[in-house]
Structure 1
Amino acid sequence: MRRKPVIAIVPLGHYIYFEQFEGLREELMRKAGEFLPYLEDSAEIFVTEYVDTVERAFQVVRSLRQQDVDGVFMLLTTYLPSSLAAPFANYLGDVPQVLVGIQPLAHLDYANCTTYMQLVNDDICAMPEIAGVYGRLGRAIPPCIVAASQQEEDIRAKVRAWQRAMVAKAAFKYAQFGYLGHTYEGMYDMHTDPTAFSGAFRAHVKMLEMCELDKLAQAVSAEDIAQKIAVIRETFSIQDPSIDPLTDYVRDEDLEWSARMACALDAMVEKNDLTALAYYYKGEGGNLYERMGAALILGNTLLTSSGIPLAGEADLKTAATMLIMNRLGGGGSFAELHPFDIEGNCVLIGHDGPHNIAISQGKPILRKLKKYHGKSGSGIGVEFSLRAGDISMLSMNCQANGRFKLVAAAGVSLPGAIPQTGNTNTRVAIPGMNVCEFIRRWCEAGPTHHLALGTGNRLLEIRCFARLMGLDLEVIE
């Protein structure tokens, strides 16, 4: 079951002021209510007690630990001593925290300013003190949001970027990444150390067996198959062969076998409580496991489109970037670089599966493929482009020093023709950059050859996520 993240808004102030200025506490407390609308409903959001003493800070921290929060917005409503923030640094060190200073006025009314007015607008006064104390305590210095209340669009963009990053990080919390089969032979960039992955992302990598998938496939009922075929027919446009001689007619037995394996994948995900799955199995001579592995594209596409990413060729790292892209709001489809177009100044980006049809341009197409290039077996392929507009690319590799590195870029999905080969292909252009120059810089950043392709410009959210996770990031722009 997908866990909904929990994010707290913690308003903070200084109790001594409230003994000196009547009504100040109540006025400052209203800032939390004004901040709430900036957040999205992708998480369970709540406002804690107002923290104006160390004792209350300890109470709130204990409560947040019990609620297993996934993120905290520290709303600085006026000056406060850093001792009030220190408990959050000391006892919630693994929880993403953002310091927020939103000043009510664009500027003080200098001719008529009172001490009371200054205190109401002292939202950033304690920010450097608190940030410095986090550093002295050996904790990550929290990112800061600074704005005047009139800058609503800027505030909304920054708050939601950090919230989405918190949600993406929370997706790895208590997560189980399935690993079925083995990496594609010779693809050295696919190999990932499960222990290193767990250390970086805190998720468990669960080793799965083809015989388990076989057992689940045998248990699928005729009724389950019929229901899945109905979903497939409603979701996809089933096409006749194209000009490519590898394409063929999709026959009833093709749909039935793919539907059976899709049901088996659903059962495997549910049985093992999987957040994501990396898989690949070659098989030989048309044996059962080869036929099973060749029939997974439809099922993994449906699962990926529902928010449970599956990555082919047993690419654990790209299963992770697809999950990140999904939780950042971009969908996330499995992809790699295909041929480029110097006249259109774009590059085709796609793959033979898995895909995310939730972000497709129009109804996705099904084509029967007599063979999968570079792989054994035959089966159904999915063909579409990402919908036209802004897109983002996110890849991950493991460096020689053992650290994971993200490589990202933002571009545009262009409308236009794509090959009718039963694979996804999106015409991607990077505004202001020659396509060959972009490809050169992308490759020299050292990604894996796979990536998560998503909708929208997600660079701000990706930067936020990388900071929260402590990951290296290179952006090609």
Structure 2
Amino acid sequence: MSWLQPIKPGKKPRIGLYSIGLKAYWEQFPGLRDRLIEYGHFIEKQMSAWGEVYNYGLVDTEGEGRRAGEWLNGQHVDIVFCHSATYSTSSTVLPVHQICKAPVVFLNLQPTERIQYDLSTTGEWLAHCGACPVPEFANAFNRAGIPFRVINGLLGLDYTPSISMTNEVTHQRKEAIRAWREIEEWCRAAAVPRNLQHSRFGFLGNTYSGMLDMYSDFTMIQAQTGLHVEVLEMCDLDRMLKEVTPQEVKAKMEQVLDMFQIRGDSPSDPIAKKPTDEQMAWSCKVAAAQEKLVRAFDLDALSYYYHGAPGGEYEKLQSGFIVGHSLLTARGIPCSGEGDLKTAVAMKICDLLGTGGSFSEIVVVDYIDETILLGHDGPFHIAISDGKPILRGMGLYHGKQGTGVSVEAKVRTGPVTTLNVTQTGDGRLKLISSEGESTNGPIMKIGNTQTPVKFPLQPDDYMTRWFAEAPTHHCAMSIGHNASLFEKVGVLLNVNHVKL
């Protein structure tokens, strides 16, 4: 759908890569060096699907390690993969990461599933002994206080090099598939810190009065994520509203009619009715102003809420928020209601990873189906919707002032993961994720987003576990099972992650 083109395309992660070896081997075993370099080029090509890869090449002495560290710093890499291609001393590898402070992942990827025992030479064996030095690296890095991760498995070639004495076609083996899934997750996760460090999050209005879990220290948010918070006023949006032309309202109306269904009155709730022409026109005008605001302030996300005086101009302005903020969320500018900045971060993480990120909270528990309905009165991430979302005119916004158009929708059926960004008593951010299944169970027809989710635990047991982690009461809902991915984001942000 053309309307879903991102307003600001995300930045790709900058991925550092090098292979290691022992310089003494090259004269002793002709062809080994070139063979290992070829493996490195294969890894580089595979990784290029997920980011910009900067491959230093072969590091085989401690001096070369220092030069590699300086070079990787010069490329401003977000993560470094060390391909353990054969044996190398830890003194070769440690200097790389004493100089370059980017997170490091060791790749212990054996080229073959089994060597030819009767035919193998020492040189042939050395092309397959990448696991040998990894314990040595682990010991040295631990004593140096440098965190690391290791991925073990098969290299996953789809051909066998001419120099090889054994079969190296392993791309369909589970050990290769598993290893490359891990590599992909680390590469994708590395995009999150890079993008957050270059992000501008708008904070429009204030936080819903009394929601103590949602108050955030802007300095704390920037210190732990790198993002900048731009404080906005309603008069900024009002200024944009005055610049909206009839042509822009018409174009926005076309977008809304293409992306939403306009339904009649709710069969059950008297406050949820078919949107009037006036409500639709106003929502589209406000939506055009909201996009102008995002572009004028170069925003990457927005958290908003406004409690105006009854009957005031700004109360009327905020009554048109939900449709426009849903459109922005679908185009890579996540918008979180009620001034919940931390959930805006969660939604942005999900969106950067291509998994959605819809604004949610607990709606109700269905003890018959053993599901928990998660949703809100908006905004909704249209890109992960189960069909076209429905627009309903609301006679009132429950718990808030004003009236307007709201979104009734559910996330598509299948695997989902919730991501909660909360704050602990010591001021640290914490990620909480839960994997479940979105079901085709019924939802209410009240103009709110709702998705029935079945978690592995019975609802009461699940909620007991969840509430014990002291979450913010909002979360972002993403499609797919992404807990492993979110865990890696936490590692790269130096933020604790808990999987329920």
1:70 aligned onto 2:78: yes
Instruction: Give the equivalent residue in structure 2 for 1:463.
Output: 487
CA 40–63 in structure 1, closer or farther in 2 if over 3 Å, else same: closer
Within a 5 Å distance, the mapping from 1:317-336 to structure 2 comes to 317-336=342-361
The separation in 1 between residues aligned to 2:110 and 2:477, in whole angstroms, is 38
Following superposition, the deviation at residue 189 of structure 1 comes to 0.4
Contact 1:328 1:458 in 2 (8 A): no
1:136 aligned onto 2:160: no
Instruction: Give the equivalent residue in structure 2 for 1:147.
Output: 153
The separation in 1 between residues aligned to 2:48 and 2:375, in whole angstroms, is 31
1:264 aligned onto 2:289: yes
Within a 5 Å distance, the mapping from 1:427-466 to structure 2 comes to 427-431=452-456, 433-466=457-490
The separation in 1 between residues aligned to 2:487 and 2:393, in whole angstroms, is 40
Following superposition, the deviation at residue 429 of structure 1 comes to 0.2
State which drifts further: 66-75 or 296-305.
66-75
Q: Secondary structure at the match of 1:283?
A: coil
State which drifts further: 327-336 or 230-239.
327-336
- The residue identity in structure 1 corresponding to 2:89 is P
Instruction: Give the equivalent residue in structure 1 for 2:107.
Output: 100
So what's the TM-score if we normalise by structure 1?
A: 0.95
Following superposition, the deviation at residue 4 of structure 1 comes to 2.6
Instruction: Give the equivalent residue in structure 2 for 1:474.
Output: 498
Q: Secondary structure at the match of 1:391?
A: strand
So what's the TM-score if we normalise by structure 2?
A: 0.90
Within a 5 Å distance, the mapping from 1:234-383 to structure 2 comes to 234-243=258-267, 244-383=269-408
Following superposition, the deviation at residue 6 of structure 1 comes to 1.9
The separation in 1 between residues aligned to 2:344 and 2:103, in whole angstroms, is 23
Q: Secondary structure at the match of 2:60?
A: coil
Contact 1:96 1:166 in 2 (8 A): no
Q: Secondary structure at the match of 2:465?
A: helix
Following superposition, the deviation at residue 191 of structure 1 comes to 0.6
Q: After the TM superposition, which parts of structure 1 deviate over 6 Å for at least 4 consecutive aligned residues?
A: none
Instruction: Give the equivalent residue in structure 1 for 2:180.
Output: 156
Following superposition, the deviation at residue 342 of structure 1 comes to 0.7
Following superposition, the deviation at residue 278 of structure 1 comes to 1.1
The separation in 2 between residues aligned to 1:218 and 1:288, in whole angstroms, is 12
Contact 1:38 1:155 in 2 (8 A): no
- The residue identity in structure 1 corresponding to 2:307 is K
Within the candidate set 408, 413, 424, 2:433 is matched to 408
The separation in 1 between residues aligned to 2:349 and 2:446, in whole angstroms, is 28
Within a 5 Å distance, the mapping from 1:145-184 to structure 2 comes to 145-149=151-155, 150=170, 151-184=175-208
Following superposition, the deviation at residue 389 of structure 1 comes to 0.4
The separation in 1 between residues aligned to 2:278 and 2:21, in whole angstroms, is 68
Following superposition, the deviation at residue 290 of structure 1 comes to 1.2
In structure 2, stretches of 5+ residues that fail to align are 1-7, 156-169
Contact 1:104 1:121 in 2 (8 A): yes
Instruction: Give the equivalent residue in structure 2 for 1:25.
Output: 33
Contact 1:340 1:347 in 2 (8 A): yes
Following superposition, the deviation at residue 107 of structure 1 comes to 3.4
State which drifts further: 10-19 or 95-104.
10-19
Q: Secondary structure at the match of 2:443?
A: coil
The separation in 1 between residues aligned to 2:247 and 2:90, in whole angstroms, is 63
Taking only the aligned residue pairs, the percentage that are identical comes to 35
CA 179–88 in structure 1, closer or farther in 2 if over 3 Å, else same: farther
The separation in 1 between residues aligned to 2:273 and 2:331, in whole angstroms, is 28
Instruction: Give the equivalent residue in structure 2 for 1:194.
Output: 218
The separation in 1 between residues aligned to 2:92 and 2:232, in whole angstroms, is 47
Residue by residue over 1:34-85, the C-alpha shift from the partner in whole angstroms, topping out at 9 and shown as x without a partner, is 3245436342234333322344434443333333222222212111222333
In structure 1, stretches of 5+ residues that fail to align are none
Number of equivalent positions: 473
Following superposition, the deviation at residue 299 of structure 1 comes to 1.2
Instruction: Give the equivalent residue in structure 1 for 2:3.
Output: none
Contact 2:359 2:474 in 1 (8 A): yes
Instruction: Give the equivalent residue in structure 1 for 2:160.
Output: none
Q: Secondary structure at the match of 1:338?
A: strand
- The residue identity in structure 2 corresponding to 1:98 is V
Instruction: Give the equivalent residue in structure 2 for 1:114.
Output: 121
The separation in 2 between residues aligned to 1:304 and 1:63, in whole angstroms, is 38
Q: Secondary structure at the match of 2:407?
A: strand
The separation in 2 between residues aligned to 1:439 and 1:9, in whole angstroms, is 42
Within the candidate set 218, 224, 237, 2:248 is matched to 224
Contact 2:13 2:187 in 1 (8 A): no
- The residue identity in structure 1 corresponding to 2:331 is S
